[in-house]
């Protein structure tokens, strides 16, 4: 399965990219790095520059949600803040919900879900400072290590912070295995 990892050209929290990426690859799926600009994305360790990673595809034009089996949205503060200001990135995210495909978001990444107007009636978690934004967008914010929400046509997996990555990666790979086996199909 092809799994899209969408991020802005700068500001992603490196561990929130690399740990889920490694988990997806270990599970036998193909992670692909998508961004809003070609070249490389600059990751961070909190506020300090970390490594950079090559972009596989650019949104838009580098494929649509129909080309992928799931979407992963890593966090960091600057990354989702930049993505939610990009109309084409927001439309790309919304398309995964329209098509009923799994979406996973960690830390500050649910900001992009708020902007895509896909949290209404869904239970999710995030970095605590997003609690009010999620509630104002009609979502149900919970303080849990990982929240798997099956409301609506697709599965939404969310976690609060890097310390939750083990649970996040486990929930993500479990959901991808269900999708691959066909048991993740929705009525």
Domain ranges of the chain: 2-181
**Torsion on CA atoms 8, 12, 14, 16, rounded to nearest 10:** -100
What pLDDT does 72 receive?
A: 98
CATH 3.40.50.300 fits 2-181, yes or no: no
Q: Is 108 a residue of the active site?
A: yes
Dihedral-angle region of residue 71 (phi above 0 means left; psi in -120 to 50 means alpha; beta otherwise): beta
Q: Is 46 a residue of the active site?
A: no
What pLDDT does 185 receive?
A: 45
Token pair for residue 121? 């009636």
Using pLDDT thresholds of 50, 70 and 90, give the confidence band for residue 60: confident
pLDDT tens string 94-124: 999 999 999 999 999 999 999 999 999 999 9
Nearest CA-CA partner of 3 in 26, 14, 145, 127: 26
The average pLDDT across 168-184 equals: 88
Strands (E), 74-150: 103-106, 123-124, 140-141, 146-149
Helix (H) or strand (E) holding 181: helix 165-181
Nearest CA-CA partner of 113 in 88, 139, 132, 78: 139
What pLDDT does 183 receive?
A: 53
What pLDDT does 186 receive?
A: 41
What pLDDT does 167 receive?
A: 98
pLDDT tens string 122-175: 999 999 999 999 999 999 999 999 999 998 788 999 999 999 999 999 999 999
pLDDT tens string 22-47: 999 999 999 999 999 999 999 999 99
Sheet with 40-45, edge to edge strand ranges: 10-13, 40-45, 48-54
Q: How far apart are CA 104 and CA 73, in angstroms?
A: 6
What pLDDT does 61 receive?
A: 76
Q: How far apart are CA 184 and CA 187, in angstroms?
A: 10
How far does CA 96 lie from the centroid of its chain? 11
Check 46, 108, 149, 169 and give the catalytic one: 108
What pLDDT does 187 receive?
A: 37
Percentage, residues of the chain above pLDDT 70: 97
């Amino acid at each position: 399965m092809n799994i899209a990892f969408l991020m802005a050209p700068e500001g992603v929290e490196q561990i929130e990219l690399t740990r889920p990426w490694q988990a997806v690859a270990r599970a036998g799926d193909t992670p692909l790095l998508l961004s809003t600009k070609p070249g490389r994305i600059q990751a961070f360790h909190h506020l300090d520059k970390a490594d950079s990673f090559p972009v596989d595809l650019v949104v838009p034009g580098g494929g649509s949600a129909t080309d992928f089996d799931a979407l992963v949205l890593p966090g960091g503060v600057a990354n989702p803040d930049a993505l939610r200001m990009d109309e084409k990135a927001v439309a790309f995210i919304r398309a995964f919900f329209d098509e009923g495909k799994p979406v996973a978001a960690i830390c500050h990444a649910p900001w992009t879900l708020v902007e895509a107007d896909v949290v209404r009636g869904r239970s999710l978690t995030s970095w605590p400072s997003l609690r009010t934004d999620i509630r104002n967008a009609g979502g149900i914010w919970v303080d849990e290590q990982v929240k798997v929400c099956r409301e609506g046509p697709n599965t939404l997996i969310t976690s609060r912070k890097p310390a939750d990555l083990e649970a996040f990666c486990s929930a993500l790979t479990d959901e991808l295995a269900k999708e691959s086996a066909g048991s993740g199909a929705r009525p």
